[in-house]
Structure 1
Amino acid sequence: MQSFFITGTDTEVGKTYFTARLMHTLAQNEVKVAGYKPVAAGCEVINDEPVNEDALAIYEACNVPVTLQQVNPVALIPPIAPHIAANKAGITLELQQLIDGYWRLASFQPDVLLMEGAGGWQLPLGKNLWMPDVVKQLQLPVIMVVGMRLGCLNHALLTAQAIRQTGLPLHGWVANQLSQQPMPYYAENLATLREALPEPLLAELPFEADYTKPLTALRNILG
């Protein structure tokens, strides 16, 4: 089983968009794929159950018989930082709980299991618990999604540095355009990142609202 952790340089940079597109591409290539978003904040209550839009997109991209609750075991209603939302709900997030959720999905024996974070890399989950603690425990290689906008150079370089400092492998990075109109001097910013980051550029994603559209760089992404 191949498995990767998908992180971003910030919130709203396209982690779910990339994750769902990659999953749909794998499914269309008859690869068994599952996704895991252990913690999500910002949910709509549907049939008395909290449903997060990003988690739902990942669930709908799975082609193994998992449930939404297995894909997203911790669904918090307020659209705020997860550790604050959990505290307000009287919930304590535990490392083992999130690890167990990953292995529960792995038991379905997908060929590829993608785990997506929330927000950026250094996400607090509770007192003395951070999302990188979960990723390190699972020893997952990391794919970093860079939202191509003003400030992305600093965010990408600092995020990559933080990932390396945990001892985890940074498998590569993805450049994601966030609007129909590319950022000013997009090519120059991309060239700066390619020169500054030793890890490979896995995919360059122009703005596209349809996350079911297949990725052409699939072989490059998985390695």
Structure 2
Amino acid sequence: MKKRIFVTATNTDIGKTYTTKLLLKEYASRGLRVGVIKPIETGVVDGFAPDGSELLACAKELNNQMKDLSVKDIVPITYELPAAPLVASNNEELDLKKIDEAIEKLEELCDVLIIEGAGGLYVPIDRHTMMIDLIKHFKATALLVTHCSLGCINDTLLSSKAMLDKQIPHAIAFNCRDNNDAFADISAPYFTKIGFEVLKVDENIDTIGDVLYNQ
């Protein structure tokens, strides 16, 4: 089994795909063959998977061995409705074997595989499986991408606790956007007070990459 890193987030639209692409570029710059998979993507209309297409294009630029792959190779399960997989699939049972087979194929082409989740940790996939359960199943290290808006303390701590409770090794990265100037005054002081190192996606991707790879 190659090194597996599962990119998750405190919610949807936090920056998982953006962060995944930065991680791919960081590891490729170290001479590693990189691979990527998004096991489940919803909101796929007429066969077009927006996140999967972005990720595949990035991976092809960085690893020539992925040049012949299609989006279906890195997004094995898709649904049209932009909703939680349980809802989008009309309560269909998750086909884990299909994902495992896709991962096995990809790991023949890479040294490190980035797995991008959908939504947050407790997005329901089927009646028995939440997104957080995939991290355990894949035996992956997790990267929790969180935001820098008001409320990030609560969101970050809740998601981190969920992984700690399941004994999932993980790192946390803050994806601060242009309208998050207040983070330094409103939220960062708390993290500083408790001795928590604030790693930012844009500024510290090399450090984030080190922490994840060595866990």
TM-score normalised by L of structure 1:
0.81
1:124 partner SS: coil
Aligned to 1:204: 200
Distance in 1, matches of 2:12 and 2:193, equals: 24
Percent of pairs with identical residues: 23
Which residue is equivalent to 2:51? 54
More strand by percentage: 1
Counterparts in 2 of 1:185 and 1:98: CA distance versus 1, 3 Å: same
Report deviation, 1:140. Answer: 0.9
SS in 1 for 2:45: strand
1:162 pairs with 2:177: no
Look up the SS of the partner of 1:137 in the other structure.
helix
Hey, what's the Cα distance between the residues in 2 that align with 1:205 and 1:92? Answer: 34
Q: 1:40·1:75 contact (CA, 8 Å) conserved in 2?
A: yes
Q: Are the equivalent residues in 2 in contact too, given 1:13–1:147 (CA < 8 A)? A: yes
Q: Structure 1: which 5+ residue stretches go unaligned?
A: 208-213
Aligned residues: 206
1:76 is displaced (CA, Å) by: 1.2
Instruction: Show the counterpart of 1:210.
Output: none
Residues 22-43 of structure 1, C-alpha deviations (whole Å, 9 max, x = no match): 1123334432101110001112
1:122 and 2:146 are equivalent in the alignment: no
- Provide the rounded CA distance (Å) in 2 between the counterparts of 1:142 and 1:92: 24
Do the aligned partners of 2:150 and 2:186 also contact (CA within 8 Å) in 1? no
- Greater share of helix residues, 1 or 2? 2
User: Which consecutive unaligned segments of at least 5 residues does structure 2 have?
Assistant: none
| CA deviation string 1:103-130 (max 9, x = no partner) | 222122x111010111001121111122
Measure the CA separation in 2 of the matches of 1:105 and 1:222. 18
CA drift at 1:152: 1.0
CA distance in 1, matches of 2:166, 2:44: 31
Superposed CA deviations along residues 124-153 of structure 1, whole A, max 9, x for unmatched, are: 111112222221122111111011112111
Q: Any residues of structure 2 matched to 1:212-223 within 5 Å, and which? A: 215-217=205-207, 218-219=209-210, 222-223=213-214
* Alignment-derived partner of residue 177 in structure 1: 176
- Give, in whole Å, the separation in 1 of the partners of 2:147 and 2:193: 17
Call closer, same or farther: CA 1:106–1:194 in 2, change over 3 Å.
farther
